[in-house]
Structure 1
């Protein structure tokens, strides 16, 4: 692997697993599936893709692109057995807050965009659409 994207903080795989477990415990779902993978490879891939440049080039160079692909991959890639929409949105928000940003949106907007991402195969919603939504709602924390 190469150098980590300069000056950014990233959630770890362990952080995201714990986040999934906490969501399942607090808001319901398949308790047997809490923190268990449906597609672990997707989570490993996205965490590497947002952190490590390839041949000196970031695949996702902006904070909004990194945040969007992190959430999109968890939600649309069905990383966990349950709770992917909640976990994807929360992981994105944590990543942004760790780096001095937040998303200015109502809960209903987060729910709507997460459902669109989860059902993208049925509705022609793309990761580019999702990124545009993130970019439009991105604000500095300070």
Structure 2
């Protein structure tokens, strides 16, 4: 099997490992179409004025394929090039009826997060999203990528481990119908209100 250039260390990509692991093997984690749709649906669900609906679900796959493999002789290589490509395609193509800018921002946040980076943004990034939504050609690609690079920093290993614990806990809670808000547990994992029964039965 030929080496996939998406991998930082040149190891082959089998299509499964990266889907289940964000950074193992030096590869990138990429959102699936379902991930992006879920981000959008969560945004619309929280917005009483939001309008649900997808204009073109199949085209969302194009964004994922582009950041992973490139298209038409152009391939984003760095994490910031990939992040900008993902953001630009989601917001400028208006694949959703509503919430395109928010979906682009939140998906880009997830892309950075699951690859070990944290994006610090404010009104300047929101302004760039508005420009991409109406006239993407006036946004200079190199300037935008440099901006993203300046606004991101790596997350330390302990923080990533804690994030993993939170995500796994949340997924299990959803699976088993457990409301985490009803549990009184400290950050260190100990019960805040322990049972003082001394016998082991």
In the TM superposition, structure 1's runs of 4+ consecutive aligned residues that sit over 4 Å from their partners are none
Where does structure 1 lack aligned partners over 5 or more consecutive residues? none
Hey, what does 1:117 align to over in structure 2?
132
Hey, what does 2:94 align to over in structure 1?
78
User: Which structure shows the higher helix fraction?
Assistant: 1
With over 3 angstroms needed to count, the CA separation of the structure-2 counterparts of 1:10 and 1:44, relative to structure 1, is: same
TM-score norm. by structure 1 comes to 0.80
Per-residue deviation, 1:41: 4.4
Per-residue deviation, 1:40: 3.3
Give yes or no for contact 1:4–1:53 (8 Å, CA) kept in 2. no
Hey, what does 2:13 align to over in structure 1?
none
If you compute each CA radius of gyration, which structure gives the higher value, 1 or 2? Answer: 2
Give yes or no for contact 1:70–1:88 (8 Å, CA) kept in 2. yes
Per-residue deviation, 1:77: 1.2
Per-residue deviation, 1:4: 7.3
Where does structure 2 lack aligned partners over 5 or more consecutive residues? 8-26, 157-201
Give yes or no for contact 1:93–1:102 (8 Å, CA) kept in 2. yes
Per-residue deviation, 1:24: 0.8
Give yes or no for contact 1:72–1:130 (8 Å, CA) kept in 2. no
TM-score norm. by structure 2 comes to 0.58
1:8 paired residue among 28, 33, 55: 28
Aligned mates of 1:4, 1:90 — CA distance in 2: 26
Secondary structure of 1:119 counterpart: helix
Aligned mates of 1:132, 1:111 — CA distance in 2: 16
Hey, what does 1:17 align to over in structure 2?
37
Aligned-pair Cα RMSD in Å: 2.4
1:135 paired residue among 140, 143, 149: 149
Per-residue deviation, 1:60: 0.4
